[in-house]
Amino acid sequence: DTEVTQTPKHLVMGMTNKKSLKCEQHMGHRAMYWYKQKAKKPPELMFVYSYEKLSINESVPSRFSPECPNSSLLNLHLHALQPEDSALYLCASSQVVGYEQYFGPGTRLTVT
Amino acid sequence: AQKITQTQPGMFVQEKEAVTLDCTYDTSDQSYGLFWYKQPSSGEMIFLIYQGSYDEQNATEGRYSLNFQKARKSANLVISASQLGDSAMYFCAMRYYNFNKFYFGSGTKLNVKP
C-alpha cells in the first residue's frame, strides 16, 4: 500500500479564517513533507518532519504552522493567509529522509 | 543558484515511440540522489525512478530508464514505447546536502500524440 491521503481536496478560506490541512500515511514511513505548488511551477519544499520532529523549515511564514501528532499524521494549520498563498498543497512521505517520496493527491487552496 | 535544470518546457512524441527528457544538475557533493516524478493533470506526483550517485548501472523501471552520465552531471529520463497515458508533466529532482535538501527542476510537459 503506497497511499498517502490528504483532506480536504479543495478548500476556500477567507484571510481571517483558521483552517487545517490533514495528511495521513500507513506505510510506516518516518519522514513526512509539505510542499506548495503554484500553477505551472515545480513543488517548493516547505517543511520536513523526521521521526516526528521538525527537521527543515524552509523559511516559511508563521501563518503556516505544521504539526506531526504521530508517525502517520501530518497537519498544516493555516491562519491569516494571503491571496498569494492560493496553491496546491502536497503532502509526501518517505521511508526516511532522502528516500523516494510518495505523494498525496493534494489540497487545492483558494484564499479570498 | 539553480540546482536542477530541465531545458525542455514542452515536448511532443508519437505514440509507441521512445522519448528522452533532459535533466542536468549542479552539485559538488559526492553523495546525492536523482529522482524523476510524473504529474498528470489531476495533480498527484507519481514517483517513477531513482538513481544514486554511486550506482554504477543506470536505473530501469519497466518502460522508464535513467541515462545517468555523472561526468556530464546529467540524468535524462528515457520512456520507451510511449502511451497516451504518459502525457503529463515530468519533474527531475535531486536530494543533496546530507539527505535533507530536496529540489525539483522546472519540469517538462510531455504530450503523446495518437
CA-to-CA distance for A1 and A19, rounded, in angstroms? Answer: 29
The CA-based dihedral angle spanning residues A21, A72, A26, A51, taken in that order and rounded to the nearest 10 degrees: 130
The minimum CA-CA distance between A7 and chain B, rounded to whole Å, is 13
Partner residue opposite B100 with nearest CB, options A41, A42, A97: A97
Partner residue opposite B102 with nearest CB, options A45, A102, A103: A45
A95 close contact with B: CB closer than 8 A = no
Residues in chain A: 112
- B106 chain-A contacts, CB cut-off 8 A: 41-42
CA-based nearest residue in chain B for residue A38: B43
Q: SS3 letters for A11-35?
A: EEECCCCEEEEEEEECCCCCEEEEE
A101 close contact with B: CB closer than 8 A = yes
Encode pLDDT of B84-109 as tens digits: 999 999 999 998 766 677 889 999 99
A42: three-class secondary structure by DSSP? coil
CA-to-CA distance for A20 and B68, rounded, in angstroms? Answer: 41
> Identity (one letter) of the amino acid at A16?
T
pLDDT for res A66: 97
DSSP string, B19-87: EEE--EE----SS-EEEEEEE-TT---EEEEEEETT--SPPEETTEEEEEETTTTEEEEEE-S--GGG-
Q: Which of A106, A67, A78, A77 is nearest to A90 (CA)?
A: A106
B102 close contact with A: CB closer than 8 A = yes
Residue with cell string 490528504: A6
pLDDT band (50, 70, 90) for residue B28: confident
Low-confidence ranges of chain A (pLDDT < 50): none
Does the distance separating the beta carbons of A48 and B45 come in below 8 Å? no
B58's grid cell: 543506470
Does the distance separating the beta carbons of A100 and B35 come in below 8 Å? yes
Has residue B26 got a pLDDT over 80?
A: yes
